[in-house]
Amino acid sequence: MNPVLAILLRIPLHGLGLLVAALPRSWELALGRALGRLFLLADPKRRGIALENMRNCLPELPNAKLDRLLRENYEHYGILALELAHMFTPLDGHYRDYASRIAKVEGFERWERAKLRGKGALFCSAHLANWELAASSGAIRGMPVTIVTRRLKPAWLHDWMERVRLSTDVRCAYQPRTMPAVMKALRDGGGVVFVMDQYMPPPMGAPTRFFGVEVDTLAAIAPLARRTGAAILPVRQVRRADGIVRIIIDPEIELGADDKADNQRLAGVVEGWIRAEPSQWLWVHRRFKHVDWTRAERRPSSPSENP
């Protein structure tokens, strides 16, 4: 990016950060929903991607429910955008205070039990609700957290995000050379966060059944757990109507017979989360590349899975 443009980008981002810092949470939620509805009108390309994904993954939904789900999903993006804007508030300690205030960790005792084994933990998560809050909330409570992510451009944006994450005690392992940082975090008894809901080509990914089709999915968690002895802890995020973001650490998943079957179980867990809270997932991501939907294996949805 042009250096001048990079510097100019800081002005609206920090300005938005100051704006959201001044908003009561109820106003932030209302403004976020309105912003999301504007995104829905102004973003035909990603709206089309989201709607295509929804139709393929949830073919049982009639058009009226699909339209409602699409609207609610974009309202979620609006709220998420304002939540993430808090990370650009140029006030020391603001994001840490914000994360502490709006997020609640449930199932922390499951991490504490895994910690006693001294092998660390592999957190299997997904892009539900606000995933940044999940890492920050756990770290604030004393859980050593490392997230696997990518470097950002321009350089100042990368440095800023790293500094904000460190303000909540979250550390980063940057792709593509993540393994040294991941292994160090596990040797130190910490937790490493992986997300399993994005498209991941080989060699890190492998074909795995997700919403009835084979699609390349992160395949590193089970073999890494088998190699290191680390616990596998699923972690999901759910934003309640009152704005509280629940960070839920689910029961540990025990390793089974082989890596492929274990990774398939993890993908099934993530799919179940999305079916339960479809409005809060990242449907605009091109998750299903190189997929033949005519060969999809369908399963009936329970009433609780329909929005």
**pLDDT averages per 10-residue partition of the chain, 307 residues:** 75 94 97 97 95 96 97 98 97 96 96 93 96 94 91 88 96 87 93 93 91 94 94 97 97 91 95 97 94 79 42
Residues 6+ apart with CB under 8 A from 219: 200, 204, 205, 206, 208, 259, 260, 263
Secondary structure (3-state) at 270: helix
Q: Quote the CA–CA distance of 227 and 48 in Å, as a whole number.
A: 41
Task: Check residue 298 and give its pLDDT.
Answer: 72
Residue 131 lies in a domain: yes
- Read off φ and ψ for residue 100, nearest 5 degrees: -65, -30
Kindly state whether residue 307 falls inside one of the protein's structural domains. Answer: no
Q: Is residue 146 part of a domain?
A: yes
Residue 217 CA to residue 198 CA, distance in Å, equals 7
**Assigned domain for 306 exists:** no
Q: What is the pLDDT of residue 183?
A: 93
Whether the pTM exceeds 0.85: the reply is yes
Residue 192 falls inside a structural domain? yes
Q: Name all contacts of 9-16 with Cβ < 8 Å and 24+ positions apart.
A: 9/154, 9/157, 10/156, 13/85, 13/88, 14/88, 14/89, 14/90, 16/85, 16/88
The pLDDT assigned to 300 comes to 53
- Residue 304 belongs to a domain: no
How many structural domains does the chain have?
A: 1
In terms of residue numbers, what domain contains 227?
3-299
C-alpha–C-alpha distance, residues 20 and 31, integer Å: 10
List phi, psi (to 5°) of 170.
-95, 130
Model pLDDT, residue 262:
94
Residue 241, in any domain of the structure: yes
Residue 281 sits at φ, ψ, to 5 deg, of -105, 165
> Is 276 domain-assigned?
yes
The reported pLDDT for the residue numbered 305 is 43
